[in-house]
Every structure is written in C-alpha cells, then in structure tokens.
Amino acid sequence: MAVMHAKKRNKLSGWEFAAPAERKLPISDAAHARNAMARLNQTQGINKAAAKKRILAAEKKFGVKHG
C-alpha cells in the first residue's frame, strides 16, 4: 500500500474517509479501501455501520474483489 503522508491526508476531502467527521480510515483508492475494511473493527470513536457502508461503496467503485 502506498504511504500517505500527513500533508496529503490533510488535503483529502470528507468523502475520501470512511468516517468523515473524525477523518479516520481514508478510502481514496483501492489499497486504502482494503486497508480501511481490515482495520474497521480496530477503530474506536466512529459509527462502524456507516463507515462499513462507505468502505463497501469505495471498494465497488475501485473494483476491489474479495475471496
């Protein structure tokens, strides 16, 4: 997965996060969407159901296949 430095992360818009209000779990590309899904249960202080829905939509957009 590509490393995302703080400067780039700070420039992301809200729609590029699974939890936009908290700016947690970036989903700006396929690699970050896969990583966000893997780390969803480890992340505290977010609405996990809403974040999962956003991650699934991002995975579909980027063509992420499971299994």
Quick one: pLDDT at residue 1? Answer: 62
Quick one: pLDDT at residue 3? Answer: 74
pLDDT surpasses 80 at 67: no
DSSP string, 3-57: ---HHHHHH--GGGEEETTTTEEE-SSHHHHHHHHHHGGG--SS-HHHHHHHHHH
pLDDT tens for each residue of 6-39:
888 788 888 899 999 999 999 999 999 999 999 9
Residues 38-50: what's their mean pLDDT? 97
Read off the pLDDT band of 44 (50, 70, 90). very high
